[in-house]
């Protein structure tokens, strides 16, 4: 239906074009021919006409000339747009022709609909796209004028002789304009490429004589703006055409001399368009006929290797204090005593600067060099980007649910008692949460949100209408929108000649101001995922624009689709707010999700009457603010009451009266923010047809769809996971809060007796150290503070030897308390495999459950495409075993027959060992040494794009709780001992890990107040309120009272009681 409508519009536009170009001049000639002179008038005739009595002839002639000039003015614009559309390049902007060119562009774009089918939502753009396509094959070399002569290519201009050149193999969808935009930064420079390659023999044997006729597979030489000297030292490239039995391993063996280096070839060619039109995203899926670019090794001048002793020395380990919360004074934090401080071996010598860049990436480097894995490298595994969970939920809905869980756990930690651990889901519910984390893609959500708000900002700034989007498509790298009418969107959006298909690439958000866009109302708040196409791209629809979606099929299956859609809308970050009214199903959903977006009604009742009143109110509000439609109201920030959509989900059949009311709500103009999703057929042509489960079709697009749904069991488990996160139920309390409260009470009482009671309230002063440790009746050695008493008990109970903290020479050391790193391993590892192998090691080291091959596969490769993962797991295990090496007695650190680790240390294990006893029984020095191991949030930056460490959530929550408790205990002692700056550094670590813990913030402010640093007080207070604003929660009453008393000039002693 949509295809037919568009073709009708195209035919009508074509008729209008024909009329303008042919009919109008014929009509003008027929009307004005008698008035036109038969020749050029003489000067005498002109003067006579101007001075004689006018009988209407003169004005008729003038109007005739104006009419012909107007037609010519419009015709020039039409011809320019038609020629540009035929050549598939943007039309040049001509001065003085802005108005006719705008109209001509829309008319020509509409006329092309007669020849262009409706978008098929395929993985590749139409052939008329102006989007620069992925480069099939490119090699960059430094050339001289003789290079061109040798290749048979006409020599470029002399000015280009000192510039580098690129060789590009033409792929599907390529045009000279797109290549100029890619290589030269300006599509209008395409004639340079054409002139440089004119006359070359193309892949089909014909000569290149027409810039519009370039053949796939043709090799084009492009002179870049980059000086040749900049690439003269680079290795030249080899182009290899994949054969029937080729694999990247074999190709690496042939061209690089080592099959294990196949990932270098994959990295150089990742994302190119293969011979079948698909992109290269999996090293195991290369297509016959695909041309690969290979960079062979280039002989390098000999360099002196470091001595064996130098090569074996591990680097120094310097725990860093997070920048985000460091105190406002340039003073170093105190270090633990010498007997507690980890030994730090000397650093590795700096690498010879003459070593080439490729050699620097070579895995054959010093074994002791730490491998930092806070960024994700491509590994030899299946595509790790999940699309949907086993229970049907897609990546977008999963992202929303995981974000909701994270928010709830944040509030759980705010309410957590010291020493308690958060309640976590168990059994099947834990498995469901893991799946949600494995398939979520929050970065894609954020990028799409920024792109759409950026589009709305452009429309606001240019006073243009916001495009109406019916359907969108989200792949791993691109977001495509299909507009209702031809549009002209701003950069970085890239469109096709039809003006109805626009794409946004995930690496193009650098032009967007995130802070400014946060103030832009969400332009498409009812955008929701319907499922995935056969290429696993997410298909989305704007419910406001389509009005109604019918889910036609078995009611039980249809309810699963409605449930998934409701959960996604309830947790969507693309909407500032909305309401989902569910009629007749899922009464428990809002009771658990508690997002304020779900409303349950047992029956339709008077729902449509209420919606009709809202529609009338919204139309009146838009009329009063001169907003012609809903999009205009959002873009111009008027009539805010109309912005937030209501989506009605109907699981019950409607009466004829209700059916009529619904159709009126969805069709009456101007449209309001109301949409429906219904089981069966209610209104509109948009339908998810479930009658053939093996061939689900989205009408009217005729698109094969894997619908997003959530099974009954999956729905119950998702709600269970969220419900566990809703309640602050500690499951473990290692250190009794009563002990901590007693310590705090004793410390404040002791401070009351050993500070100056006469200090003026308006001039708070920190007591001198001597005042804190002695008075007129008790010497320093005769008085025991609560902290000293605790230390004495610890000294009596502890082992004589304190635990060793930090790396030990000769032992691989896994660091997870911050960015994930491994240092001290005996073997070597290829850089592209380090991230995955480090996660594998972390799983083996940290998981407390029984480890099996299946559990490893589920944790490390959760989105694998095949059930039998041995071909991936076994090589990874072997590489990890070689990387870890052997112990002094020759024993492997990773057992051959089991997954047992031996002789591998971890900073978290050391932290646990140092803080295993009740915290009040551990010495201050040992607590400080344990905190020195913490470099940031556990697993910080490890889960880039959430491909890794989905299994680590329970462990991370345990780590955060324990580290924060240790920070609190240590900071409390430092407050008592007047170690104000050390206290601030300790609290900086805790706040960096748990920014919502207001008790730590109050202590941080108190420490700065005690050392009379008003700037640090103001900085910490401002940061606290900024954090609370970001979390959308008010300060605790204790914080409000504390800051009020601080402003009144309370003493340190009084404020200590309020912590």
Quick one: pLDDT at residue 844? 96
Q: Give the pLDDT band (50/70/90) at residue 424.
A: very high
Is-contact 826 884, C-beta < 8 A? yes
* DSSP for 250-311, written as a single string: HHHHHHTS-GGGHHHHHHHHTT-B-TTS-B---TT---TT-EEEE---------PPPPHHHH
Site of tokens 């498509």? 473
* 213-242 pLDDT per residue, tens: 787 778 899 988 766 544 444 446 788 888
Which domains does the chain carry?
1-39+58-113 (no CATH), 167-230 (no CATH), 238-294 (3.10.350), 434-726 (3.40.50)
Q: Strands across the sheet with 494-495, in order?
A: 494-495, 501-505, 478-483, 469-474, 538-542, 527-532, 706-707
* 237-289 pLDDT per residue, tens: 788 888 766 778 778 878 887 877 888 888 888 878 777 666 776 676 677 77
Quick one: pLDDT at residue 244? 67
Backbone conformation region of residue 185, classed left if phi is above 0, alpha if psi is from -120 to 50, else beta = left
Which of 144-148, 351-355, 636-640 has maximum average pLDDT? 636-640
CA distance 801 to 149: 78
Task: Give the whole-number percent of the chain exceeding pLDDT 90.
Answer: 41
Is-contact 879 363, C-beta < 8 A? no
Averaged pLDDT, 370-398: 64
Peptide bond between residue 463 and the one before it cis (omega within 30 degrees of 0): no
Quick one: pLDDT at residue 217? 77
Averaged pLDDT, 874-883: 93
| Token pair for 460 | 């606001």
Q: Give the pLDDT band (50/70/90) at residue 394.
A: very high
Quick one: pLDDT at residue 385? 54
Residue 102 has pLDDT above 90, yes or no: no
Quick one: pLDDT at residue 740? 44
Residue 318 has pLDDT above 90, yes or no: no
* Of 4 and 317, more confident: 4
Q: Give the pLDDT band (50/70/90) at residue 515.
A: confident
Query: How many other C-beta atoms lie within 10 A of the C-beta of residue 737?
Result: 13
CA distance 599 to 286: 50
Averaged pLDDT, 98-126: 58
* 192-217 pLDDT per residue, tens: 898 898 888 887 777 787 676 787 77
Site of tokens 């469901």? 432
CA distance 394 to 532: 8
Averaged pLDDT, 383-397: 80
Averaged pLDDT, 860-869: 79
DSSP, collapsed to helix, strand or coil, labels residue 145 as helix
CA distance 471 to 1: 15
Helix spans in 778-849 (H):
786-797, 831-846
For residue 503, what is the enclosing H or E element? strand 501-505
CA distance 97 to 1016: 60
CA-closest candidate to residue 993, choices 816, 783, 805, 810? 816
For all residues of the chain together, what is the average pLDDT? Answer: 77
Quick one: pLDDT at residue 985? 94
Long-range contacts, stretch 846-850, CB < 8 angstroms, 24+ apart: 846/816, 846/906, 846/908, 846/952, 846/955, 847/951, 847/955
User: Is 0.85 surpassed by the pTM of this model?
Assistant: no
Site of tokens 């030292």? 233
Is-contact 842 955, C-beta < 8 A? no
CA distance 396 to 573: 10
Task: Give the whole-number percent of the chain exceeding pLDDT 70.
Answer: 71
Q: Give the pLDDT band (50/70/90) at residue 764.
A: very low
Averaged pLDDT, 892-920: 92
CA-closest candidate to residue 568, choices 603, 623, 530? 530
Query: How many other C-beta atoms lie within 10 A of the C-beta of residue 873?
Result: 19
CA distance 1056 to 748: 6
Is-contact 242 286, C-beta < 8 A? yes
Quick one: pLDDT at residue 163? 65
Q: Going by C-beta distance under 8 Å and a sequence separation of 6 or more, which residues neighbour residue 303?
A: 352, 354, 355
Residue 616 has pLDDT above 80, yes or no: yes
Give the C-alpha distances (Å, rounded to integers) separating 24 from 105, 318, 961, 1013: 19, 81, 79, 82
Averaged pLDDT, 891-919: 92
Quick one: pLDDT at residue 143? 43
* DSSP for 180-232, written as a single string: HHHHTS-GGGHHHHHHHHTT-B-TTS-B---TT---TT-EEEEEEEEEHHHHT
Residue 866 has pLDDT above 90, yes or no: no
Q: Going by C-beta distance under 8 Å and a sequence separation of 6 or more, which residues neighbour residue 459?
A: 465, 466, 635
Residue 735 has pLDDT above 50, yes or no: no
End-to-end C-alpha distance for the chain, whole angstroms: 68
Is-contact 321 989, C-beta < 8 A? yes
DSSP, collapsed to helix, strand or coil, labels residue 721 as helix
Is-contact 681 364, C-beta < 8 A? no
For residue 633, what is the enclosing H or E element? helix 630-635
* 782-821 pLDDT per residue, tens: 323 333 333 433 433 444 446 778 999 989 999 999 999 9
CA distance 488 to 108: 13
CA distance 598 to 649: 11
* DSSP for 335-404, written as a single string: PPPTTTSPP-PPPPPPPPTTS-HHHHT-S-S-TTS-EE-SS----SSS-----B-TTS-BHHHHHHHHHH
């Amino acid at each position: 239906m949509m295809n037919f409508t568009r073709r009708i519009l195209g035919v009508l536009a074509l008729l209008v074009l024909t009329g303008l170009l042919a009919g109008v001049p014929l009509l003008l000639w027929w009307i004005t021919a008698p008035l036109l002179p038969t020749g050029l008038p003489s000067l005498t005739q002109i003067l006579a006409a101007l001075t004689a009595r006018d009988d209407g002839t003169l004005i008729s002639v003038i109007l005739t000339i104006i009419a012909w000039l107007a037609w010519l003015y419009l015709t020039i614009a039409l011809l320019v747009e038609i020629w540009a559309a035929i050549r598939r390049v943007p039309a040049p902007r001509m001065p003085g022709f802005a108005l006719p060119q705008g109209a001509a562009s829309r008319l020509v774009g509409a006329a092309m609909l007669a020849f262009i089918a409706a978008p098929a939502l395929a993985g590749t753009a139409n052939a008329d796209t102006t989007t620069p396509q992925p480069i099939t094959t490119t090699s960059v070399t430094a050339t001289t004028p003789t290079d061109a002569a040798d290749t048979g290519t006409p020599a470029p201009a002399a000015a280009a002789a000192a510039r580098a050149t690129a060789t590009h193999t033409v792929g599907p969808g390529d045009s000279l304009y797109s290549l100029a935009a890619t290589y030269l930064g300006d599509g209008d420079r395409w004639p340079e490429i054409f002139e440089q390659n004119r006359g070359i023999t193309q892949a089909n044997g014909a000569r290149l004589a027409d810039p519009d006729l370039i053949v796939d597979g043709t090799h084009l030489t492009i002179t870049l703006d980059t000086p040749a000297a900049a690439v003269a030292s680079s290795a030249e490239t080899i182009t290899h055409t994949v054969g029937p039995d080729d694999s990247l391993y074999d190709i690496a063996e042939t061209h690089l001399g080592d099959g294990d280096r196949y990932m270098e070839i994959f990295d150089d060619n990742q994302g190119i368009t293969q011979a079948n039109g698909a992109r290269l995203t999996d090293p195991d899926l290369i297509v016959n006929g695909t041309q690969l670019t290979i960079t062979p090794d280039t002989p390098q001048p000999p360099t002196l290797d470091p001595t064996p002793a130098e090569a074996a020395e591990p680097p120094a380990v310097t725990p860093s204090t997070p920048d985000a919360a460091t105190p406002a004074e340039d003073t170093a934090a105190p270090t633990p005593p010498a007997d507690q401080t980890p030994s730090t071996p000397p650093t590795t010598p700096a690498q010879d600067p003459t070593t080439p860049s490729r050699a620097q990436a070579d895995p054959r480097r010093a074994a002791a060099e730490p491998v930092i894995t806070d960024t994700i490298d491509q590994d030899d595994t299946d595509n790790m980007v999940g699309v949907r969970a086993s229970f049907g939920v897609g990546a977008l809905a999963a992202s929303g649910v995981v974000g909701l869980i994270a928010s709830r756990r944040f509030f759980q930690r705010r309410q957590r008692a010291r020493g308690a651990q958060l309640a976590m889901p168990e059994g099947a519910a834990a498995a469901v949460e893991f799946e949600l984390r494995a398939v979520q893609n929050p970065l894609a959500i954020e990028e799409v949100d920024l792109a759409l708000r950026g589009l709305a900002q452009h429309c606001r700034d240019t006073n243009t209408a916001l495009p109406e989007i019916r359907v969108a498509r989200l792949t791993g790298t691109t977001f495509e929108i299909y507009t209702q009418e031809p549009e002209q969107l701003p950069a970085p959006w890239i469109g096709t000649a039809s003006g109805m298909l626009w794409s946004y690439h995930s690496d193009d958000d650098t032009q967007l101001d995130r802070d400014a866009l946060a103030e832009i109302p969400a332009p498409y708040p009812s955008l929701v995922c319907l499922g995935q196409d056969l290429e696993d791209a997410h298909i989305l629809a704007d419910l406001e624009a389509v009005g109604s979606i019918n889910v036609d099929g078995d009611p039980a299956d249809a309810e699963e689709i409605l449930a998934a859609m409701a959960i996604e809308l309830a947790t969507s970050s693309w909407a500032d707010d909305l309401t989902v009214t569910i009629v007749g199903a899922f009464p428990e959903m809002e009771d658990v999700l508690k997002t304020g977006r779900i409303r349950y009604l047992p029956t339709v009742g008077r729902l449509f009457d209420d919606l009709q009143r809202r529609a009338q109110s919204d139309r009146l509000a838009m009329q009063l603010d001169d907003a012609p439609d809903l999009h205009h109201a959002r873009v111009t920030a008027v009539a805010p009451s109309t912005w937030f959509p209501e989506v009605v989900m109907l699981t019950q059949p409607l009466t004829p009266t209700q059916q009529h009311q619904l159709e009126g709500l969805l069709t009456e103009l101007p449209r309001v923010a109301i949409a429906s999703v219904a089981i069966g057929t209610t209104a509109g042509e948009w339908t998810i047809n479930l009658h053939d489960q093996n061939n689900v079709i989205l009408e009217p697009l005729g698109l094969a769809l894997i619908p997003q749904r959530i099974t009954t069991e999956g729905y119950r488990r998702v709600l269970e996971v969220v419900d566990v996160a809703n309640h602050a139920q500690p499951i473990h309390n290692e250190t009794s809060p009563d002990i901590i409260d007693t310590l705090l009470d004793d410390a404040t009482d002791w401070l009351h007796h050993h500070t100056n009671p006469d200090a003026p309230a308006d001039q708070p002063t920190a007591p001198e150290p001597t005042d804190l440790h002695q008075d007129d009746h008790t010497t320093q050695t005769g008085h025991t503070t609560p902290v000293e008493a605790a230390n004495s008990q610890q000294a009596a109970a502890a082992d004589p030897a304190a635990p060793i903290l930090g790396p030990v020479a000769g032992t691989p050391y896994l660091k997870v308390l911050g960015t994930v790193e491994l240092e001290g391993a005996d073997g070597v590892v290829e850089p592209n495999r380090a991230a995955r192998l480090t996660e594998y090691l972390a799983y083996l080291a940290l998981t407390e459950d029984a480890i099996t091959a299946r559990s490893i596969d589920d944790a490390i490769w959760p989105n694998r495409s095949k059930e039998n993962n041995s071909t991936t797991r076994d090589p990874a295990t072997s590489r990890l075993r070689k990387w870890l090496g052997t112990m002094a007695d020759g024993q492997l650190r990773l057992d051959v027959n089991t997954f047992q680790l031996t002789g591998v240390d971890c900073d978290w294990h050391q932290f646990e060992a140092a803080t295993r006893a009740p915290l009040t029984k551990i010495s201050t020095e040992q607590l400080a040494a344990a905190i020195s191991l913490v470099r940031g949030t556990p697993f910080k930056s490890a889960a880039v794009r959430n491909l890794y460490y989905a299994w680590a959530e329970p462990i991370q929550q345990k780590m955060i709780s324990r580290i924060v408790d240790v920070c609190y205990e240590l900071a409390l002692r430092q407050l008592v001992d007047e170690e104000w700056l050390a206290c601030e550094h300790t609290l900086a670590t805790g706040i960096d890990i748990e920014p919502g813990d207001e008790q730590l913030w109050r202590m941080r402010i108190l420490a700065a107040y005690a050392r009379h640093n008003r700037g640090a007080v103001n900085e910490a207070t401002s940061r606290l309120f900024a954090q609370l604003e970001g979390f959308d929660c008010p300060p605790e009453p204790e914080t409000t009272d504390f800051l009020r008393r601080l402003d009144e000039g309370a003493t340190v002693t009084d404020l200590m009681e309020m912590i």
